[in-house]
Amino acid sequence: MFQTQIKTDVATELITLANAKYYLKTNYTTGSDATLVAEDAKITRLIKTVREQCENYCNASFAQKTLYCQFEADPGNNTYTLPFPPVNSVTGVSLVDLNGDETALVLNTSYWVRGLNKEQIIVSSTQSVPVSIPVVVDTSFSVKVEYVAGYASAAAVPEAIIEAMYKAILFNYRMIGDDPDGDKMIVGVLPNQAKAMLKPYRNLIL
């Protein structure tokens, strides 16, 4: 079992307002007119909502963000798989006791990072490099990991993911346009075409 929390959210969305408007074939330019400002704000919110929905559907992180993940200690295993990959970097690992006090662990001494995408954390209470990993973490502790998840840049995100997001933005923009209260709601529904494109990038969370 684990819990996650966003420490630092996405700073820059993968799709810009200008590119979204081009895809939507919305040709107006930003101006001081209240209607235009509101339309820009609506599309901007939709870009974020769709990206979050696509990430949730895939159990993944597409845009970079810093996460905390806290695992319950597992008496039979001290290898922890970080959720919502890809993992860009691991900032730190600590043990948290029942009082909430944290003890920082040391990379390559009391914890190790493994996996093609740095997605596995191995925790040990010894000072030797684990071979068979026989050590069991005290179950009165939990393991807290701070890490950066998401692709390193927008250019590194697979084109199929970006295209799926565009299709979802278009689908939802049309839905909002048909709703008399559409300017007040951002639905973030994923159409089947977008889901099909995202399917190869879905991750199983146990």
**Mean pLDDT for each consecutive 10-residue tract of the chain (206 residues)?**
94 94 74 70 92 96 97 83 95 91 92 87 60 50 94 95 96 74 62 96 84
Q: Tell me: do 90 and 106 sit in the same domain.
A: yes
Residue 120 forms part of a structural domain: yes
Residue 96 forms part of a structural domain: yes
Question: What token pair was written down for 69?
Answer: 């993940």
Looking at 134, 149, 164, the residue that finishes a domain is: 149
Looking at 149, 170, 185, the residue that finishes a domain is: 149
Q: Tell me: do 28 and 86 sit in the same domain.
A: no
Alpha carbon distances (Å) from 189 to 15, 82, 169, 179, 198 = 17, 27, 9, 14, 14
Which pLDDT value is given to residue 40? 87
DSSP state of 203: -
Which pLDDT value is given to residue 50? 95
Q: Tell me: do 12 and 32 sit in the same domain.
A: yes
Q: Tell me: do 90 and 37 sit in the same domain.
A: no
Residue 169 forms part of a structural domain: yes
| CATH number where 145 lies | 2.60.40
Residue 43 forms part of a structural domain: yes
First to last CA, the chain: 8
Other beta carbons less than 10 A from residue 54's beta carbon: 25
pTM: 0.83
Q: Tell me: do 32 and 6 sit in the same domain.
A: yes
Q: Tell me: do 94 and 160 sit in the same domain.
A: no
- Residue 153 CA to residue 20 CA, distance in Å, equals 18
175 is in which domain, residue-wise? 2-61+155-201
**Amino acid symbol at 179:** D
Residue 206 forms part of a structural domain: no
Q: Tell me: do 179 and 194 sit in the same domain.
A: yes
Burial of residue 144, with CB atoms counted within 10 A of its CB: 0-12 exposed, 13-18 middle, 19 or more buried: buried
Residue 89 forms part of a structural domain: yes
Q: Tell me: do 81 and 110 sit in the same domain.
A: yes
DSSP state of 17: H
Domains in the chain, number: 2
Q: Tell me: do 73 and 119 sit in the same domain.
A: yes
Which pLDDT value is given to residue 128? 36
Which pLDDT value is given to residue 133? 40
- Residue 203 CA to residue 86 CA, distance in Å, equals 10
Q: Tell me: do 23 and 78 sit in the same domain.
A: no
